[in-house]
Amino acid sequence: MVSKKVKITDTTLRDGHQSHLATRMRLEHMLPIAEKMDEIGFNSVEVWGGATFDTCMRYLGEDPWERLRQLKKVFKKTPLQMLLRGQNLVGYKHYADDVVEEFIKHAVSNGIGVLRIFDALNDVRNMEKACEVTKSEGAHAQLTISYTISPMHNLEYYVDLGKTYKEMGADSICIKDMAGIISPQGAYDLVSQLKEKVGLPVQMHCHYTSGMASMVYMKAIEAGLDVVDTAMSPLAMGSSQPATETMVAALKDMEYNTELDLQQLSNIADYFKEVRKEYTEFDTGDNSVDVNVLMYQIPGGMISNFKTQLAQQKALDRLPEVLAEVPKVREDFGYPPLVTPSSQIVGTQAVLNVLAGERYKQVTNEVKAYMKGQYGKALGQINSEVRKKIIGDEEPITCRPADLLEPQMEDAKKEVADLMQQPEDAISYAILPAVAKPFLEQKMAHATKLDLEKAEAGPKNGKPATYPL
């Protein structure tokens, strides 16, 4: 039997808890198991980026950069991977090129080895700067196909996108199926074509929401897929990834054997079973198949957002209307894939259309920016009447959106000069000012208090502080 060993990226420490526990897992619950995870032989572990950066500062009082450094100390063999929203980095809008540059330089110098770079519109202009810096910093640049289904998105388009990624210098390609809508046959065809016509390693990132993801992985592996994303079973399935242990066991008797140790994985799973119990207040608790995904191709995360938005307006009974409105808004917007931030932009507009009783009577600033071309270019045509209703006669931009942005780092450095304890603090502030500022203030107050305590305790208490485990 010729070995076509499949590799595994474990996502437990990023997408696993982002999908199941509202991204609330703290470093103190990661560090005790990190060494065991490092021993497994994963291709990489996804531990950073996505929503973790925001959540660390907004809710957990944790410095995301410090989290990364602490993890890097323990993960000695396994590359650390992050999810990067292209020119949006780990925020929700485009940042100037100097912010992209500083962010990636520091992400790599603090320990990130693999950057998965995507853009919600698959607009390569929003990924090129991030890709270029990743390469020049010596890290692995994985460029991402945000997968969606529409009359415009066909196999040829995706393969052409893959070819462009190769020309841009991508080290590998990721097929990101955030909604869990790719079918096993769809995956087989796409992976076969990418392997044949592009020739780069291909990795898949599927969400289990529709219940299809493990079948998808199997077919994709038969088509030559190199790496799959999975999460440890206690934080897998439902709206997360397929389970690591299941994938390892399923492939064991095939030429795709991952050669990972199921007993060792089971010990890690036992640990995360207990950890999940610490976060019950954030736990969706729902691991069942979401039929809405199969019918409407709406990602699970969007549906829970709708419920929150509608409940606030005491209009939860209008959910079916909102679900039916999403495809219409998406069509008017030129069929963007639904992933952060386009999922929020399209979703909020669908809610407004239903509640206002008239389409586009009320629009958000993000929708105006989208119509002005500030998020980039969608694959499909934007409905010109809708655009006119939203931005009037203003001409949308056609250049790379970030070309219009002035450098931002110098101002950010000045604005938080008094709060900076490390160069990274200015980057956090440049990306999420409203979240980073109170966080940095708190951190500064805490550091001052520690200094005072140390001074009062005298020289005997001068041991370096260790992270509370």
Residue nearest to Co ion (CB): 15
Least distance between Co ion and beta carbon 143 (Å): 16
Q: Which helix (H) or strand (E) holds 36?
A: helix 31-40
Stretch that binds Co ion, among 13-21, 32-40, 343-351, 370-378 (CB under 5 A): 13-21
How near is the Cβ of 400 to Co ion at its closest, in Å?
26
What is the nearest approach in angstroms of Co ion to the Cβ of residue 207? 6
- Please state whether the peptide bond connecting residue 341 to the residue before it is cis, i.e. omega within 30 degrees of 0: yes
226 lies in the binding site for Co ion (CB under 5 A): no
CB-based contact 425:417 (threshold 8 Å): no
CB of 70 or CB of 230, closer to Co ion: 230
Structure tokens at 384: 């010109």
Q: How far is the CB of 224 from Co ion (least distance, A)?
A: 22
Q: At what angle do helices 424-431 and 433-457 cross, to 10 degrees?
A: 150
Residue type, 329: V
**By C-beta, is 96 or 225 nearer to Co ion?**
225
- The residue range among 7-15, 219-227, 257-265, 379-387 that interacts with Co ion, by the rule CB under 5 A, is 7-15
Token couple for 395 = 């001409």
Kindly tell me which of 141 and 175 has the beta carbon lying closer to Co ion: 175
In the complex, the smallest distance separating the C-beta of residue 417 from Co ion, rounded to whole angstroms, is 36
Q: Which long-range contacts (CB under 8 A, 24 or more apart) does 440-448 make?
A: 440/416, 442/61, 443/63, 443/419, 444/418, 444/419, 447/421
- Which residues, 243 to 272, sit near Co ion by CB under 5 A? none
* Angle 312-315-321 from CA coordinates, rounded to 5°: 125
- Contact window for Co ion (CB under 5 A) among 15-23, 39-47, 56-64, 166-174: 15-23
Closest CB 274 distance from Co ion, rounded Å: 24
15 or 128: whose CB is closer to Co ion? Answer: 15
- The β-bridge partners of 146 are 176
CA distance to 42, 241, 259, per residue, from 248 (Å): 11, 14, 8
**C-beta of 10 vs 63, nearer to Co ion:** 10
Q: In angstroms, rounded to a whole number, what is the distance separating the alpha carbons of residues 242 and 355? A: 36
Structure tokens at 272: 């995360």
Region of 184 (left: φ > 0; alpha: ψ -120 to 50; beta: rest) is: alpha
97 touches Co ion by CB under 5 A: no
Q: Find the part of the chain contacting Co ion (CB under 5 A) among 14-22, 219-227, 258-266, 389-397.
A: 14-22
Cβ 172 to Co ion shortest distance, Å: 17
**Least Å distance between CB 445 and Co ion?**
35
To Co ion, the closest distance from the beta carbon of 360 in angstroms equals 30
Nearer Cβ to Co ion (207/387): 207
Q: Which stretch binds Co ion (CB under 5 A): 8-16, 118-126, 139-147, 214-222?
A: 8-16
Please say whether the beta carbons of 89 and 436 come within 8 A. Answer: no
CB of 15 to Co ion, least distance (A): 4
Structure tokens at 131: 């890709």
Under rule CB under 5 A, residue 15 binds Co ion = yes
Strand partners for 117: 84, 143
Of 12-20, 250-258, 268-276, 377-385, the segment contacting Co ion by CB under 5 A is: 12-20
Per the rule left: phi > 0, alpha: psi between -120 and 50, beta: everything else, 384 is: alpha
**In this complex, which beta carbon is closest to Co ion, that of residue 49 or of residue 334?**
49
- In this chain, which stretch among 9-17, 60-68, 327-335, 366-374 interacts with Co ion, using CB under 5 A? 9-17
Q: How far apart are CA 254 and CA 51, in angstroms?
A: 36
Number of residues engaging Co ion in binding (CB under 5 A): 1
Using CA atoms in the order 433, 438, 444, 446, what is the torsion angle rounded to 10 degrees? Answer: -150
Question: Which sign, positive or negative, has the C-alpha torsion 150, 156, 157, 159?
Answer: positive
- Which residues are at the interface with Co ion (CB under 5 A)? 15
